[in-house]
Chains A and B, each alone.
Chain A
Amino acid sequence: GNSVTQMEGPVTLSEEAFLTINCTYTATGYPSLFWYVQYPGEGLQLLLKATKADDKGSNKGFEATYRKETTSFHLEKGSVQVSDSAVYFCALSDRDNYGQNFVFGPGTRLSVLP
């Protein structure tokens, strides 16, 4: 079955540092890939998405490229801010004859220190 693997957290960075959160997936079909962000006390919000190979999703300075050859969708940001402290979830969506399937990674907690 489909699965998503994320790097273990927590990740602690200083403000303005470079961020990478690794995400790899396994899927039998041609999934769409997503990054969600969850701020303390809130629900998950869609951060960015990519729907086919070599697509780059971007939002709020975050970027991720759909790499089919390495089955990866790593999240990057060039200069993190304290306000980026949150939990980040990588996810995929696939569709088969029975319907739509979503799989989430376990989440990576990011703490950015001033």
Chain B
Amino acid sequence: NAGVTQTPKFRVLKTGQSMTLLCAQDMNHEYMYWYRQDPGMGLRLIHYSVGEGTTAKGEVPDGYNVSRLKKQNFLLGLESAAPSQTSVYFCASSYDRGARPFYSNQPQHFGDGTRLSIL
């Protein structure tokens, strides 16, 4: 049971470099999310997707781009990394019950995180 898999687990970048974080889920979930977690700041939503081919901005989207070309994958891109983007990044996914009234809201499932340092 893989669940939500994030790659890479660790990465060190220099300011101005670019990179892509990959999130893959094998639960056929419609929703996928990218969060960043910083000391004392809790979880902050960067971008999310409600389905293949759709993305939307979260609370802190600046400096990041995302793509959801396949339902199982959600990519987070940093075009020009900055030290302020040093953080732990978490991907999550969830099942959407749609408008069915007797189905409860389902929890998010999280990956193990990517620890990103930008020098």
Contacts and interface: CB of A to CB of B under 8 A. Distances in A.
Nearest to A6: B42
Contacts of B50: 99-100
Interface residues of A, number: 24
Contacts of B94: 93, 100, 102
B80 interface: no
Contacts of A100: 31, 50, 94, 96, 105
A46 B105 contact: no
Nearest to A104: B43
Interface residues of B, number: 21
A105 to B, nearest CB: 7
B97 interface: yes
Interface in B65-104: 90, 92, 94, 96-97, 104
A34 B107 contact: yes
B108 interface: yes
B7 to A, nearest CB: 14
Contacts of B97: 95
11 contacts: A31-B105, A43-B4, A43-B90, A43-B112, A43-B113, A46-B108, A52-B104, A89-B42, A91-B108, A94-B105, A102-B94
Given A45-B110, A51-B105, A93-B94, 20 more contacts: A36-B110, A42-B112, A43-B90, A43-B111, A43-B113, A44-B90, A44-B108, A44-B110, A46-B108, A94-B105, A95-B96, A95-B97, A99-B96, A100-B50, A100-B94, A102-B94, A102-B108, A104-B43, A105-B42, A107-B43
